[in-house]
Structure 1
Amino acid sequence: MNITELQQNITIQYCFADISSSCRKEVRTGPAYMFLFIILSCISLCTVFLNLLVIISISHFKQLHTPTNMLILSLAVADLIVGMFLMPVKIMELADSCWYLGQVGCYVFPVINGLSLSTSLCSLIFIAVDRYIAVSDPLLYSTRISVCKMYVLIVVGWSFCLWYNIIYLYFNDHFFQSQINCYGECVLFIKYYWVIVDLVICFLTPCSIIIILYSSIFKIARRQAKAVRAVAVSKCQGDKVSKLSETKAAKTLGIVIFVYFTCWIPFYISSLSFESVTSVSVVWTVFGWLLYINSSVNPLIYAIFYSWFRESVKYIVSCRIFESSSSRFNLFPEHM
């Protein structure tokens, strides 16, 4: 797939043939584009499927109604919105460059887009804070953190993200749409100073918090592993427990930070190289999809690595969740 091949497969038409002010449609056809659309559609379906499994598991099984899992549920809901609504709209827009959802849809879509991505990041931060408290002070964790408190925290987080995104779009003149040139166009123009503001609020700050907290978790896990090794019945058993704890902490830290950087750094670094960014630019399209793909990877990191998720998926796939007592199934077998 190369640029020349893609350009040769673009046919110019109009978004709305019966409207004189209609925008031109760039119908992208050919094997290269078909392959791209199939890949993106598969990513969208996988994002919806994986996050639905997480949502059904945590919502259905009472054993999973814990403060930490409420945060994972919030993360899955945000990522589900990305896979179910944002990705299909972007695929449709990429197919022929037209906007078919009307002016109201043009106003609402960027709000939903920003809300889902920012709440996903917000949930990652809350999960890091929750894990830090659980590791640093496990004896008092149950008294300090409850499901009800976590519900309040989640509502506050979603409300803040919604408030921030409305302000972000308002000051970038999105709700006025003064720069729309033709019918069938929906373009978001981001002013450069707002790129800087967004970089600090939605990247540098979350990045710093996550790195600091997971680094602290790793250090605490190492200290606890040494303590377990010191009091173990045999030195051999102690070494085994220590190595397992340190390996698990290092693996979690590495995966979280690597995925976070991989998905978010390219977008912001590229945005800084332009005086302004538009939603139809190559930068926004390519690196914006990296942000979406992060929503596909999140359930893999925060749920699939847990034994309870694998157990709940077995019950869901086998339709055993429709049994009357299924909500009380034990997802933590003694051998696991």
Structure 2
Amino acid sequence: MNLENVNQTENCFSICSEKTTVSTTVHVLLYISAVAVVLLTVLGNLLVIISVCHFKRLHTPNNILILSLAVSDLLVGLISMPLHFIWKIESCWFFGFIFCHIYNFFSFHVTSVSAHNVALIAIDRYFALSHPLRYSKEVSKSVMYIVVLFNWVFSLFYNFALLYSNGNFTDLTMCPGECFLVQDEVWSLVDVLIVFVFPCAVIIILYVGIFFIARKHINSIRKLDIQRNGVDGKHAKDSVTSERKAAKVLGILVCVFLACLIPYYVCIFVSNTIGGEFFYNVINNVLIFFYLNSCINPIIYALFYPCFQKSIKLILTCQIFNMNSSLINVLG
């Protein structure tokens, strides 16, 4: 679009000047909080990426999905989060009309990839637990690379089609200092189904299935322990502890994902029904929760695992620079 066609009305010139008056202290605290979240997101995902790439024992199909998730979340932390936080704190878009389109497309793309990565991890873990023999034979690193590539390519074309079909690249006009996108009701519904409903349904259904499969295995171990020892011995008590821990972890996985995504899509539905500038501003504020999912993901999906805890310790103590450090057994 020709920049000369941007509406230069009197309202346009007042966009960046009509800021909410906040004290300098609050302004500084907002920036400190934003920097802290960005650093936590970037460093957390960067540690996961280095761990999977450096240590050969972590070169497994499941960890390839975790690597893809960490890359998408790292990009959110490097690009989407800083721009969005500056935009909201300053109440003005300083980066121009063209970069606004790039930001919108990139943010849609990487957050979509991240959500589908979470669903793919659930599929991978369910298949590995329910069909261990088939999983070891059929799911190789090459297969997982293809799955990851398809996820990124699909998201790329889907989000381009979504924004282009709604005229965001051709017909949209914005005042200086504004950055927004247009999405009709049909595409909003499609987007909710593809990026939210489908991943959430997969995650909830499969993790519930994983829980019941794990519980079945634990009950089998408990019965075997009783048969051998005649009492509900140490192994049975350990299995109960493992069961509770599994239930807690699964609850955290599902609740965090839903808590980060539900507010955004609820606001999308309300704004399409009611509309207005107020709901548009609410959506942009709630979008922060969507981005926070990229900050929490490395903690939930990687840093809770002993192998990643060990690899991160080796990274932080600079032991990865030692000879043959990539061959260290971080699984043991």
1:237 maps onto 2:243 in alignment: no
Structure 1 segments of 4 or more deviating over 6 A? Answer: 277-280
In 2, Cα distance between the equivalents of 1:131 and 1:281? 38
Query: Could you list the per-position Cα deviations for residues 229-268 of structure 1 after superposition, in whole angstroms to 9, with x for gaps in the alignment?
Result: 2223433133124213322321221011110111111111
In structure 2, the gaps of 5 or more residues are 1-11
Matching of residues 88-167 of structure 1 within 5 Å: 88-167=82-161
Cα distance per residue 1:208-239 (max 9 Å; x no partner): 11111001111111111111122234331331
| C-alpha RMSD over aligned residues | 2.0
* Percent of aligned pairs with the same amino acid: 39
Residue aligned with 2:183, SS? strand
- Which residue matches 1:58? 52
Which residue is equivalent to 2:74? Answer: 80
Residues 41, 294 of structure 2: 8 Å contact kept: yes
**Could you say if the C-alpha distance between residues 274 and 104 of structure 1 is closer, same or farther in structure 2, counting changes exceeding 3 Å?**
closer
Alignment deviations for residues 110-134 of structure 1 (CA, whole Å, 9 cap, x no partner)? 1110111111111101100010011
Query: Partner letter of residue 244 of structure 2?
Result: T
SS in structure 1 at match of 2:331: coil
Give secondary structure in 2 for the equivalent of 1:273: helix
d(CA) in 2 for partners of 1:89, 1:279: 21
**For residues 198 and 23 of structure 1, what CA distance do their matches in structure 2 show?**
33
Structure 2 residue 256 is matched with structure 1 residue 259: yes
* Distance in 1 separating the partners of 2:287 and 2:208: 28
Matched-pair contact (CA < 8 Å) for 1:48–1:84? yes
Question: Does 2:318 match 1:319?
Answer: yes
Q: Equivalent of 2:205, from 188, 193, 212?
A: 212
- How far apart, in 1, do the equivalents of 2:81 and 2:285 lie? 13
Q: What is the Cα deviation at residue 189 of structure 1?
A: 2.2
> Aligned in 2, Cα 1:278/1:48: closer, same or farther, shift over 3 Å?
farther
Matched-pair contact (CA < 8 Å) for 1:100–1:184:
yes
Q: Secondary structure at the match of 1:274?
A: helix
- C-alpha separation in 1, matches of 2:324 and 2:269: 55
The farther-off stretch of 313-322 and 194-203 is 194-203
- The CA deviation at 1:205 is 1.5
Matched to 2:195, the amino acid is C
Which residue of structure 1 aligns with residue 308 of structure 2?
309
Question: Are 2:216 and 1:223 equivalent residues in the alignment?
Answer: yes
Question: Does the CA contact (< 8 Å) of 1:133 and 1:141 recur in 2?
Answer: yes
Aligned pair count reads: 312
1:105 offset after TM fit, Å?
A: 1.6
- Higher relative CO (Cα under 8 Å, sequence separation at least 6) belongs to 2
**CA–CA distance in structure 1, aligned partners of residues 15 and 216 of structure 2:** 63
SS of alignment partner, residue 270 of structure 2: coil
Distance 1:177 1:301 in 2: 41
Amino acid at match of 1:206: P
1:174 aligns to what SS in structure 2? coil
TM-score for both structures, normalised by structure 2:
0.88
Worse overlay, 192-201 or 86-95: 192-201
> How does 1:289-300 map onto structure 2 within 5 Å?
289-300=288-299
Instruction: Compare the two structures and name the one with the higher helix fraction.
Output: 2
> How do 1:176-215 and structure 2 match up within 5 A?
176-180=170-174, 182-215=175-208
Post-superposition shift, 1:287? Answer: 1.1
Could you say which residue in structure 2 is the equivalent of 1:25?
16
Match of 1:176, SS?
coil
CA contact (8 A) 2:65 2:121 kept: yes
TM-score (norm 1): 0.87
Equivalent-residue separation in structure 1 for 2:66 and 2:102 (angstroms): 26
